[in-house]
Amino acid sequence: MIGVELVTSAMLRGLACPYCGLAVPADEADAVSAQAAWGWCAARAVAEGRTVGLLLLTPDGSGSRSPARIVTAFVAPELVGAGTGRELVRTAAAGLVRARVGSVRATSSAVRSCSSLPAGFLLATGFTPSERAGRWRLDLGATARVPFEGVMDRLERLVQSVRPVAPPEPAGRQVIGAWRS
Protein backbone atom coordinates (compact mmCIF):
# COMPACT_ATOMS: atom_id res chain seq x y z
CA MET A 1 0.00 0.00 0.00
CA ILE A 2 1.28 3.45 -0.89
CA GLY A 3 0.79 6.36 1.51
CA VAL A 4 1.20 10.00 0.54
CA GLU A 5 2.07 12.71 3.07
CA LEU A 6 3.21 16.31 3.23
CA VAL A 7 6.79 16.53 4.51
CA THR A 8 9.32 19.09 5.68
CA SER A 9 12.78 19.68 4.27
CA ALA A 10 14.37 17.58 7.04
CA MET A 11 12.56 14.51 5.68
CA LEU A 12 14.17 14.92 2.26
CA ARG A 13 17.68 13.95 3.38
CA GLY A 14 19.12 11.11 1.38
CA LEU A 15 16.43 11.05 -1.30
CA ALA A 16 17.74 10.69 -4.84
CA CYS A 17 15.96 10.98 -8.15
CA PRO A 18 15.72 7.57 -9.86
CA TYR A 19 16.24 9.21 -13.28
CA CYS A 20 19.22 11.53 -12.81
CA GLY A 21 20.63 10.10 -9.57
CA LEU A 22 21.02 13.52 -7.95
CA ALA A 23 20.19 13.77 -4.26
CA VAL A 24 17.52 16.24 -3.22
CA PRO A 25 19.28 18.78 -0.98
CA ALA A 26 17.30 19.30 2.23
CA ASP A 27 18.68 22.81 2.64
CA GLU A 28 17.82 23.87 -0.91
CA ALA A 29 16.50 27.45 -1.03
CA ASP A 30 13.26 26.28 -2.67
CA ALA A 31 12.53 23.81 0.12
CA VAL A 32 13.37 26.33 2.82
CA SER A 33 11.14 29.05 1.34
CA ALA A 34 8.24 26.59 0.89
CA GLN A 35 8.54 25.41 4.46
CA ALA A 36 8.60 29.00 5.71
CA ALA A 37 5.48 29.84 3.69
CA TRP A 38 3.36 26.71 4.24
CA GLY A 39 5.01 24.65 7.00
CA TRP A 40 5.89 21.87 4.54
CA CYS A 41 7.71 21.72 1.21
CA ALA A 42 6.86 18.46 -0.53
CA ALA A 43 4.42 15.61 -0.94
CA ARG A 44 6.10 12.23 -0.54
CA ALA A 45 4.79 8.78 -1.49
CA VAL A 46 5.99 5.93 0.71
CA ALA A 47 5.61 2.18 0.16
CA GLU A 48 6.99 -0.35 2.66
CA GLY A 49 9.15 2.32 4.31
CA ARG A 50 10.74 3.41 1.03
CA THR A 51 10.12 6.73 -0.74
CA VAL A 52 8.66 5.95 -4.17
CA GLY A 53 7.59 9.42 -5.24
CA LEU A 54 8.22 13.08 -4.50
CA LEU A 55 6.68 16.40 -5.49
CA LEU A 56 8.81 19.33 -4.25
CA LEU A 57 7.23 22.78 -4.47
CA THR A 58 8.26 26.36 -3.84
CA PRO A 59 6.45 29.70 -3.74
CA ASP A 60 6.74 31.35 -7.15
CA GLY A 61 6.81 34.97 -6.00
CA SER A 62 6.15 36.87 -2.83
CA GLY A 63 2.87 37.45 -1.12
CA SER A 64 0.28 35.26 0.55
CA ARG A 65 -1.57 34.36 -2.67
CA SER A 66 1.51 33.83 -4.86
CA PRO A 67 1.36 30.65 -6.95
CA ALA A 68 3.37 27.54 -6.18
CA ARG A 69 5.85 26.04 -8.63
CA ILE A 70 6.85 22.39 -8.95
CA VAL A 71 10.63 22.18 -8.60
CA THR A 72 11.21 18.43 -8.55
CA ALA A 73 8.84 15.56 -9.23
CA PHE A 74 9.44 11.88 -9.68
CA VAL A 75 7.80 8.51 -9.22
CA ALA A 76 9.81 5.28 -9.08
CA PRO A 77 9.94 3.74 -12.57
CA GLU A 78 8.10 0.58 -11.50
CA LEU A 79 5.12 2.67 -10.28
CA VAL A 80 4.73 4.99 -13.28
CA GLY A 81 1.13 4.76 -14.46
CA ALA A 82 -0.17 3.36 -11.15
CA GLY A 83 -1.71 6.61 -9.88
CA THR A 84 1.11 7.57 -7.50
CA GLY A 85 1.83 10.84 -9.32
CA ARG A 86 -1.86 11.77 -9.29
CA GLU A 87 -2.00 11.21 -5.51
CA LEU A 88 1.10 13.36 -5.03
CA VAL A 89 -0.58 16.21 -6.94
CA ARG A 90 -3.85 15.78 -4.99
CA THR A 91 -2.10 15.80 -1.63
CA ALA A 92 -0.01 18.85 -2.51
CA ALA A 93 -3.09 20.65 -3.90
CA ALA A 94 -5.00 20.00 -0.67
CA GLY A 95 -2.14 21.46 1.37
CA LEU A 96 -1.90 24.47 -0.93
CA VAL A 97 -5.66 25.12 -0.73
CA ARG A 98 -5.39 25.15 3.08
CA ALA A 99 -2.50 27.64 2.70
CA ARG A 100 -4.73 29.75 0.39
CA VAL A 101 -2.47 29.38 -2.66
CA GLY A 102 -4.36 30.06 -5.91
CA SER A 103 -2.46 28.03 -8.50
CA VAL A 104 0.42 25.66 -9.23
CA ARG A 105 2.85 26.09 -12.12
CA ALA A 106 4.81 23.32 -13.81
CA THR A 107 7.00 22.69 -16.84
CA SER A 108 6.86 19.79 -19.25
CA SER A 109 9.40 18.10 -21.45
CA ALA A 110 9.51 15.09 -23.75
CA VAL A 111 12.70 13.95 -21.99
CA ARG A 112 11.99 12.22 -18.67
CA SER A 113 13.61 14.09 -15.79
CA CYS A 114 12.86 15.19 -12.26
CA SER A 115 12.71 18.88 -13.16
CA SER A 116 9.87 18.64 -15.70
CA LEU A 117 6.85 16.40 -16.06
CA PRO A 118 5.33 14.68 -19.09
CA ALA A 119 2.69 16.83 -20.81
CA GLY A 120 0.19 13.95 -20.84
CA PHE A 121 0.47 13.57 -17.07
CA LEU A 122 -0.05 17.29 -16.49
CA LEU A 123 -3.10 17.33 -18.76
CA ALA A 124 -4.57 14.25 -17.04
CA THR A 125 -4.18 15.78 -13.57
CA GLY A 126 -5.98 19.03 -14.39
CA PHE A 127 -3.17 21.32 -15.52
CA THR A 128 -3.83 23.56 -18.52
CA PRO A 129 -1.18 24.67 -20.99
CA SER A 130 -0.20 28.33 -20.99
CA GLU A 131 0.74 30.54 -23.93
CA ARG A 132 4.42 29.59 -23.64
CA ALA A 133 5.32 26.11 -24.80
CA GLY A 134 6.15 23.71 -21.99
CA ARG A 135 4.49 25.84 -19.28
CA TRP A 136 1.44 24.57 -17.41
CA ARG A 137 -0.91 25.90 -14.72
CA LEU A 138 -3.31 24.24 -12.27
CA ASP A 139 -5.94 26.68 -11.00
CA LEU A 140 -6.75 25.46 -7.49
CA GLY A 141 -9.80 27.70 -7.21
CA ALA A 142 -11.42 25.94 -10.16
CA THR A 143 -10.29 22.38 -9.42
CA ALA A 144 -10.40 22.12 -5.62
CA ARG A 145 -13.42 22.98 -3.54
CA VAL A 146 -12.81 25.00 -0.41
CA PRO A 147 -15.42 24.42 2.29
CA PHE A 148 -17.64 27.47 2.68
CA GLU A 149 -17.67 28.95 6.14
CA GLY A 150 -20.72 31.08 6.76
CA VAL A 151 -21.28 33.89 9.22
CA MET A 152 -23.09 31.60 11.65
CA ASP A 153 -20.15 29.17 11.67
CA ARG A 154 -17.76 31.99 12.50
CA LEU A 155 -20.09 33.36 15.18
CA GLU A 156 -20.40 29.92 16.79
CA ARG A 157 -16.59 29.55 16.85
CA LEU A 158 -16.27 33.01 18.42
CA VAL A 159 -18.83 32.23 21.13
CA GLN A 160 -17.13 28.91 21.89
CA SER A 161 -13.73 30.57 22.21
CA VAL A 162 -15.01 33.30 24.53
CA ARG A 163 -17.33 31.21 26.67
CA PRO A 164 -17.02 27.47 26.13
CA VAL A 165 -20.23 25.63 26.82
CA ALA A 166 -19.87 23.28 29.76
CA PRO A 167 -21.06 19.72 29.26
CA PRO A 168 -24.35 18.88 30.92
CA GLU A 169 -24.12 17.57 34.45
CA PRO A 170 -25.46 14.08 35.15
CA ALA A 171 -28.73 13.85 37.02
CA GLY A 172 -28.22 13.03 40.68
CA ARG A 173 -30.46 11.34 43.14
CA GLN A 174 -32.40 13.79 45.17
CA VAL A 175 -34.88 13.13 47.91
CA ILE A 176 -37.73 15.53 47.48
CA GLY A 177 -39.89 14.47 50.35
CA ALA A 178 -39.88 11.78 52.99
CA TRP A 179 -42.53 9.09 53.04
CA ARG A 180 -44.59 9.04 56.18
CA SER A 181 -46.71 6.16 57.14
Q: What is the pLDDT of residues 146-167, one digit of tens each?
A: 555 667 777 777 766 666 556 6
Cross-strand bridge partners of residue 53: 45, 75
Residues 19 and 105 sit within 8 Å (Cβ to Cβ): no
Among 7, 47, 10, 6, residue whose Cα is nearest residue 28? 10
Q: What is the pLDDT of residues 103-119, one digit of tens each?
A: 899 988 877 777 788 88
Task: List domains and CATH numbers for the chain.
Answer: 2-159 (3.40.630.30)
Query: 143 exposed, middle or buried (CB, 10 Å; 0-12, 13-18, 19+)?
Result: middle
pTM higher than the cut 0.85: no
Secondary structure of the chain: what % helix, strand, coil (to 5)? 30, 25, 45
**Distance between CA atoms of residues 63 and 116, nearest Å:** 25
Among 138, 142, 94, residue whose Cα is nearest residue 117? 138
Judged against a pLDDT cut of 80, whether residue 93 lies above it is answered with yes
Judged against a pLDDT cut of 80, whether residue 67 lies above it is answered with yes
> What band does 26 get if pLDDT is binned at 50, 70 and 90?
low
Q: State which amino acid sits at residue 69.
A: R
Residues 54 and 13 sit within 8 Å (Cβ to Cβ): no
**Distance between CA atoms of residues 28 and 16, nearest Å:** 14
Among 65, 129, 64, residue whose Cα is nearest residue 103? 65
